[in-house]
Amino acid sequence: MASIGVPTEIKRDEQRVALTPDAVRELVGQGMEVRIQEGAGLGAGLTDEAYRAAGARLVSREQAWDAHLVVKVKEPQPEEFTFLRPDLVLFTYLHLAAYPHVGRALLEAGTTALAYETVQLEDGSLPLLAPMSEVAGRLAAQVGARLLEKPQGGRGVLIGGCTGVQPARVVVLGAGSVGWNAARLAAAMDAEVFLLDRSPQRLRELEADRRGRLVSLVSSGSLIERLVPTADLLIGAVLLPGGRAPTLVSEDLVQRMRPGSVIVDVAIDQGGCIATSRETSHTDPVFTLHGVQHYAVGNMPGAVPFTSTEALVSVTLPYIQVMAGRGLIEAVTDRPELLSGLNTVDGAVCHPGVAKALGVPTRHPMACLR
């Protein structure tokens, strides 16, 4: 019988969990053993009793990690490295470009690790990143609006302005799921929004849904240099699947922003796209540099763990079912997008973006599995 383990997340301020009771019921109904660490769902409002009623075994941390397939939300923390082993398949968000020490631990242990964020469909979309990107983008606008308030250290600007008063200017770098959701919500709050992306095709796709004071522009270095100093709120939302985010905004540009302006760098879990960013936490989310507030929490959706857990599990469950039910080689045959999710296998890196970020050679994922 295939066993699936769900440890409690121990990354600071992380309250999400990798499976819901409803998902457990589906897996158990298909003949799988699901081991949930006691208390794993409490942060998301999901009780041990609900998991037990769904058919899960409530176990210790060690027993959860001893399963054939371990599903998580965030990358393993250093105190979990001892649980990594060659016969383990780990399925979670990894972001190895931002956390190379995790990559080294996975390679040393010989663990097979698949990253949610690099599972990619033929059309280039990232189905397991999309729901969390949607949450993070909406949070970025919401958090930014709050931080612009004077009691929070901001300029004292109402994001949507009011009659006779200019609204806040919001500049969003990247029109992927994060950037588009951030721009849409900011525009819905009546902000003046500039959405920048390198792809004219992507901007053209979004044009039909553009509303309010939202202007989409093809990104360039000179455009960024002109717009960033005028921004009340700057949202960094760029992504290179598996790789480190490019630095688009220099420290000099940050210095030219007005005191009390706000930066929300959603790309921080891929290293950040603002030169002055450093990762923060939900308990200490903001630091000020050059008079500009920086919000760079690496697990933004963790602020709304109930919503985020439900959204995440709705897209990961079909992949968990096929991996646990049929084994990894058959799973990638059935769902070929899982091949791009393979980051490490048997001491080798199988994703070119991750390999480049870690500075190691890459192997073709099918070669890794043979």
CA dihedral 322→323→325→330, nearest 10 degrees, is: 80
Alpha helix stretches (DSSP H) within 189-255 = 200-206, 221-227, 251-255
294 is catalytic: no
DSSP 8-class letter at 260: T
SS3 (DSSP) at 47: coil
Handedness of CA 154, 155, 156, 159 (dihedral sign): negative
What is the CB neighbour count within 10 angstroms for residue 82?
12
- Is the Cβ–Cβ distance between 241 and 130 less than 8 Å? no
Handedness of CA 160, 163, 169, 175 (dihedral sign): positive
Among 95, 197, 265, 294, the one annotated catalytic: 95
Of 50, 62, 27, 30, the C-alpha closest to 306 is: 50
Among 197, 265, 269, 351, the one annotated catalytic: 269
- Residues 50 and 258: their CA atoms lie apart, in Å, by 50
Of 220, 173, 163, the C-alpha closest to 194 is: 173
Which residue bears the tokens 């470009």? Answer: 97
DSSP 8-class letter at 1: -
Handedness of CA 62, 8, 113, 84 (dihedral sign): negative
13 is catalytic: no
Please give the positions annotated as active site: 95, 269
